[in-house]
Structure 1
Amino acid sequence: MAPAGRSFSVVLVSAGTAAVALGVLGVVRALVAADPSEHPLPELISWWLTAAALVLQAAAQLLPSARDLSLIVTSALALALALVAPGSLFSVTALPILVSAFLAGLSVPLRHMRWTAAAACVLVFAGQLINSIGSGRADYVGAAFEAALQAVLVVGLPLLPATAIAAQKSARRAQEQMLDALARERDAQIREAIAMERSAMARELHDIAAHHLSGISVMASAVERQVGSDPDAARAGAAAVRQQSRAVLDDLRRLVGLLRDADSDDDSVKTLATIPALVAVVAATGVEVDLRVRRPAGGELGEGIGPLAQLAAYRMVQESLSNVSRHAPDAACTVTIDDDDPARMRVSVHNAPPPRGATLAATGGSGFGILGMRERAALIGGSFDAGPTGDDGWEARMSIPREPRPTDRKQTP
């Protein structure tokens, strides 16, 4: 609660306590006035002193320090009233003490206020005993017993529910803090996984770009040597292409190459042509894998699919087969490369449900692999989705658009 809201609530509770206590005092006055023979009417000064004590007791709840101090002050004010004006009106002073004890139990742990509660009990006991003796009671033992009972009920009774409520609030607050900590930890893990995946993609992009930009540089050198018409202009243009290609290559190596993993043992560029070897490696581990390739008759696999997109397809198949090996090693798996669509290529990995009686791996997925595959698909302008199938299996699908052919680029206005 905000400080302003809390101050308002404290003032409201204090004013309410004073109003209720004065109201009870008014009811007592009315009862006494209705039957003066049964209850002797106290002197006027006693009414005023009791009303003043009740107001001061309610005002003690506004003390800026801890709540347990207000409990001591309200109990001491009741004792002062018993010393100054003992009588039947003294019992009304128990109401502000009840409220102060309840508020103290809500805001202060019981282990921190045990001495305060004991001191308040002593003050209430002394006030009640002095009031009984000052009112003319001669049974000291009975008066002491009633004073002790009054102290326990007025101070101890409201502390029990207040302590229970405070404990529930503390447990709820601790649970919320734990959930917040878990959420922050999860977010940190996701950010770290995405950063690692992007770093891996940047490393692979470096390898691909370096390979192809080197080829551009070689081709530009060949053009520079072989052009026959307008050799001066062609030579200058080719030299500029070569120079720019080398500059891009150097910049790319400096910027992206910083993210390379020096400990990586596999530096080969992964393409669609390397997927059969990947499937064979996974099948050698005991997983039943079937590779299906669909392509136009006489066409080349992956025509119009750039090297970065082919790498994304390879990594998607690799991650999906790894998930099958971890979570459903006994399930049959089918890798499909559908290259029939002239606009895009589709790659899917479908694993059937495990055979009846097979044991599923108990390891739970973190979801980072799916995040990485979705990042790769977005990087190449494609799409990725994964989820359960109607046969209780699982399927991962990636759609990869083809790059425009050179003839298409020339026809574009």
Structure 2
Amino acid sequence: MPAVHRLHRTIAVTTALVTAIVAVAAAWAVGSLAELDPSEHGARPGAATWAVTVAVLVLQSAALTAVRRAPRVTLLGVAALPVLVAAFAPSALFSASAVPVLVGAFAAAVQLPLRLIAVTAAASAALVAVGQFVAGVGFGRTDPVVLALEAAGQGLIVVGVPLIVGSTIAANRAAARAKQDALDAVLREREAQVGEAIARERSAMARELHDIAAHHLSGISLMASAIARQVSTDPAAARSGALQIREQSNAVLDDLRSLVGLLRESESRAGHGGDGALKTLATVGDLVTAAQQTGAPASLDVRLGALGPLGTGIAPLAQLAAYRMVQESLTNAARHAPGAATTVTIDDSAESHATVTVGNGPRTGAHPLPLHDDGFGVLGMRERAALIGASFEAGPTEVGGWETRMRIPRDLSRTGPEEQR
């Protein structure tokens, strides 16, 4: 903040200095005109008149350094000082005193709303008019009515014009600040919503990770117990090994529960949800069937390779992530592109990976397909893909539709019936 204060002080001092120079220069110009045409501009100002006028101009300009702290008092002071010149040293030089008043009115209008400065501005305009009238009478004007009208016009112009300009600038600044504040509020709300959505999605993934891990590791633990009881060859060694397997399995279960507990910290009241069934690539067809039952033109294209059943070498959690991606994509297609043909493609033919794609065409009807924004649904898909080490892409297609694609790495070292379920 001290740096900001120094900047404001520097601006105020610079403004006062420039105003003083311009005002003195204006006085010099008026004085020069008086020497050239005394009949029009009055008698040539004497040394005393010059001294008083320059002193008042300098005081007016110096007072402008306080306009930021006290704009109304400063404006009144800047407008009142020239009355001294009008009373004690009337001359054509008086008109130069309008320069600091112009600057003061503008600066005050920028600092305060018009409704708060209106009375001060009216008083300042009256002071300028009085000073102009007194100065005119002092250097020989004999037409009081015309002089009064000129004085009133001088007050209105000197105070009113910069007041209007300054108020307009201040209003534009206020509108810009309000707009920026509203934008900041929207961004903060958006960030909060995204954070909440990420927390919900991670919590859901934590539940599913626990279900899968518990399902498989509990089976390992039971199998180890059975081996320990049933093996007949070298029963002591087999039993010992089986018990070790069981101990390790239980340790893994404990560690997974601890990890899931950390991931679920932000969800204290949410229910478990779900139907309890393990979701795999093989169950994606159920999603397509459910979509077809609602009347949506959805289809499934499964491309198998030589590796074996669908999903061979794809971890259960990875298959669940793909299942959820298809589920969310079908929901988005029904919401954003009702009536559009949707195709779910499971390409399981590559040795290194499996690719799951959901693409829909343009929505039918008179209205164009609204672009899917990168919202919470897509955000959840990205989170799931990152969790399993898969790549994920989502975006509009060339024909005006939308496509989501997840490429899941395959681990052929994963074997056994549990990995194919």
Other-structure match for 2:278: 269
Per-residue CA deviation, residues 33-91 of structure 1 (Å, 9 max, x unaligned), is 44567742222111000000000000010126222222111111111222222222211
Q: Distance in 2 between matches of 1:265 and 1:228?
A: 43
Partner of 1:122: 126
Q: Distance in 1 between matches of 2:65 and 2:117?
A: 18
Q: Equivalent pairs: percent with the same residue? A: 52
Does residue 158 (structure 1) correspond to residue 162 (structure 2)? The answer is yes
Gaps of 5+ in 1: 408-413
Following the alignment from structure 2 to structure 1, what is the Cα–Cα distance between the partners of residues 301 and 100?
84
| Alignment RMSD (CA, Å) | 2.5
Quote the Cα distance in structure 1 between the aligned partners of 2:97 and 2:345. Answer: 85
Match of 1:91 among 82, 89, 95: 95
Task: Go from structure 1 to structure 2 and tell me whether the alpha carbon gap of 1:160 and 1:271 turns closer, same or farther (over 3 Å shift).
Answer: same
Matched letter for residue 376 of structure 2 = F
Which piece of structure 1 moves more, 306-315 or 114-123? Answer: 114-123
Change (3 A) 1:319 1:82: same
CA contact (8 A) 2:291 2:330 kept: yes
For 1:205, which of 201, 206, 209 is the aligned residue?
209
1:319 to partner: Cα distance: 0.9
Look up the match of 1:18: 20
User: SS at 1:336's partner residue?
Assistant: strand
Change (3 A) 1:31 1:214: same
Match of 2:144 in 1: 140
Q: Note the C-alpha offset of 1:302.
A: 0.7
User: Which secondary structure does the structure 2 equivalent of 1:291 belong to?
Assistant: strand
Cα drift, residue 29 of structure 1: 3.1
Match of 2:74 in 1: 70
Per-residue CA distance 1:84-137 (angstroms, 9 max, x = gap): 222222111111111111111122111110111111122112222222233343
Task: Give 3-state SS (helix, strand or coil) of 1:292's partner.
Answer: strand
Instruction: Flag the 1:296–1:35 CA change in 2: closer, same or farther, 3 A.
Output: closer
Q: Distance in 2 between matches of 1:281 and 1:375?
A: 25
> Take 1:280 and 1:264, find their aligned partners in 2: how far apart are those partners?
21
Count of aligned pairs between the two proteins:
406
For 2:60, the equivalent position in structure 1 comes to 57
Q: Which amino acid aligns with 1:90?
A: F
The answer for the alignment partner of 2:391 in structure 1 is 383
Aligned amino acid, residue 392 of structure 2 = F
What does 1:279-290 correspond to in 2, within 5 Å?
A: 279-290=288-299
SS in 2 for 1:330: coil
**Equivalent residues of 1:327, 1:360 under 8 A apart:** no
CA distance in 2: counterparts of 1:285 and 1:323, whole angstroms: 14
**Alignment correspondent of 2:404:** 396
Instruction: Write the distance in 2 (CA, Å) between the matches of 1:363 and 1:340.
Output: 31
Query: What's the secondary structure of 1:256's corresponding residue?
Result: helix
Distance in 2 of aligned mates of 1:351 and 1:136: 90
Contact 2:210 2:257 in 1 (8 A): yes
CA change 1:361–1:88 in 2 (3 A) is closer
- Pair 1:40 & 2:48 matched: no
Structure 2 runs not aligned, ≥5 long = 416-421
Separation in 2, partners of 1:31, 1:299: 105
Cα deviation, residue 138, structure 1: 3.9
Residues 187-246 of structure 1: per-residue CA shift (max 9 Å, x gap)? 222222222111111111111111111012112223333455665454344323322322
Deviations 1:242-270 (A, max 9, x none): 22322332443355255584252522221
Q: What SS is found at the alignment partner of 1:2?
A: helix
54-63 or 132-141, which deviates more? 132-141
* Corresponding letter in the other structure for 1:101: A
What is the TM-score of this pair, normalised by structure 2? 0.88
Give the AA of the match of 1:76. A
Contact 2:371–2:396 under 8 Å retained in 1: no
Answer yes or no: is the 8 Å Cα contact 1:197–1:372 preserved in 2. Answer: yes
Residue 324 of structure 2 corresponds to 315
Taking the aligned partners of 1:18 and 1:402, their CA distance within structure 2 comes to 80
* Range 123-132 or range 229-238, more displaced: 229-238
Instruction: Write the letter of the residue equivalent to 1:16.
Output: V
TM-score, normalised via structure 1 length: 0.90
Partner in structure 2 of residue 191 of structure 1 = 195
Shift of 1:350: 2.0
Q: Indicate the residue corresponding to 2:418 in structure 1.
A: none
Partner SS for 1:143: helix
Q: Which amino acid aligns with 1:183?
A: L
Q: Which residue number in structure 2 is paired with residue 302 of structure 1?
A: 311
Q: Contact between 1:293 and 1:337, CA under 8 Å: does it hold in 2?
A: yes
Deviation larger for 41-50 or 297-306: 297-306
Structure 2 partner of 1:8: 10
- Cα pair 1:328 1:360 within 8 Å, conserved: no
Q: 1:392 to 1:136 in 2, by over 3 A?
A: closer
Matches within 5 A, 1:207-226: 207-226=211-230
- Partner Cα distance (2:39, 2:287) in 1: 106
CA distance in 2, matches of 1:105, 1:304: 74
CA 1:344–1:77: 2 relative to 1, 3 Å: same
Cα distance change, pair 352–118 in 1 and its aligned pair in 2 (3 A): closer
Is this contact kept in 1: 2:362–2:368, CA < 8 A?
A: no
Any idea what SS the aligned residue of 1:222 has?
helix
| Superposition deviation, residue 401 in structure 1 | 0.8
